[in-house]
């Protein structure tokens, strides 16, 4: 699959997930075959004001390529300026967030709120696309208010102003992640535009990925929450193999993930951030509920390693 001038190994992508898709996790998913990985959403304003914490989110390691940086904001000039910065930092693409449903984002008229103003959508995409040489893409939802589909009009505005692909999540903003993701809207967008369309929402297996593409005609699929604690999902979907990792193999994944976190962020930050990852990794493990309290209190690398070995290898 190709987006703009970027050739991709396959059409199964890791979604941008706030607090999840840092360098360590992106690398895990890339090693399992993800064709494209995305950063957490990054504030364009924070980047332009030289926020060290913001810029750290855009740090791309060699093994992650190609990696797209997702930006959010509402001011075309500032978003374009941040895109230029991230292009220089090695981003393979710039993705514009028009799908985040969280109130702290939409209350600033950012994220999915942008879908309510197709004129602003066009100006943002035009500014960013004309500021960089790498492809610009957009991630959006079905619409903002339940019952009011906006994705087709927004996708057309994106295409007309220089976007080279769009990702459509099949829920309205007001749904957050409740209910089922609607595939019909993805099919409508695919029929309306000529650029690649990526389908997103409730893809959690090879079968659901195939049915998503068959029902909508979309060019690829994006995996989000289903990948949390399960980077191996990319291998299963890409290879059409539903064989799950053994507990020992899952423990090896956790140790590798932890090692990346320590290497990239240092022990103190790694321990804090791995706590939440551990809770995702134990999903489906017998006795997981009773283990959550223990794992949420680990305070050192040694405690994490001992807990993982106890849970997964004994």
Catalytic residue set: 100
Contact 168, 141 (CB under 8 A): yes
Strand-strand pairing, 93-98 and 220-223:
unpaired
Residue with tokens 């087709």: 152
Element (H, E) at 52: helix 52-56
Q: How many CB atoms lie within 10 A of CB 19?
A: 10
Q: Give the pair of three-digit tokens for residue 115.
A: 């879908």
Q: How many angstroms separate the CA atoms of 17 and 179, rounded? A: 19
Q: How many angstroms separate the CA atoms of 307 and 199, rounded? A: 37
Taking every pair of Cα atoms in the chain, the longest distance, rounded to a whole number of angstroms, is 59
Residue with tokens 């949390």: 228
């Amino acid at each position: 699959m190709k987006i703009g001038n970027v050739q991709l190994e396959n059409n199964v992508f890791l979604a941008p997930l706030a607090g999840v898709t840092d360098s360590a996790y992106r690398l895990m998913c890339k090693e399992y075959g993800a064709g494209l990985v995305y950063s957490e959403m990054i504030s364009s304003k924070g980047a332009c004001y030289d926020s060290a914490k913001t810029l750290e989110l855009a740090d791309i390691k060699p093994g992650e390529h190609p990696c797209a940086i997702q930006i959010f904001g509402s001011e075309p000039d500032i978003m374009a300026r941040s895109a230029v910065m991230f292009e220089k930092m090695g981003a393979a693409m710039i993705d514009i967030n028009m799908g985040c449903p969280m109130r702290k984002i939409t209350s600033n008229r950012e994220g999915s709120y942008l879908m309510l103003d197709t004129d602003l959508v066009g100006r943002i995409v035009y500014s960013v696309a004309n500021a960089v040489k790498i492809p610009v893409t957009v991630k959006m939802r079905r619409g903002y208010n339940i019952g009011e589909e906006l994705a087709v009009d927004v996708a057309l505005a994106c295409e007309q102003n220089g976007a080279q692909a769009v990702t459509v999540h099949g829920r309205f903003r007001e749904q957050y992640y409740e209910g089922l993701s609607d595939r019909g809207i993805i099919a409508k967008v695919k029929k309306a535009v000529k650029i690649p369309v990526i389908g997103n929402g409730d893809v959690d297996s090879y079968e659901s990925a195939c049915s998503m593409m068959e029902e909508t005609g979309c060019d690829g699929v994006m995996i989000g929450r289903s990948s949390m604690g399960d980077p191996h999902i990319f291998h299963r979907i890409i290879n059409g193999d539903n064989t799950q990792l053994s507990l020992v193999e899952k423990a090896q994944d956790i140790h590798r993930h932890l090692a990346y976190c320590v290497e990239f962020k240092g022990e103190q930050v790694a321990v804090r951030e791995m706590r939440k990852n551990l809770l995702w990794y134990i999903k489906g493990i017998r006795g997981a509920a009773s283990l959550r309290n223990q794992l949420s209190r680990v305070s050192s690398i040694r405690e994490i390693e001992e807990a993982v070995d106890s849970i997964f290898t004994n």
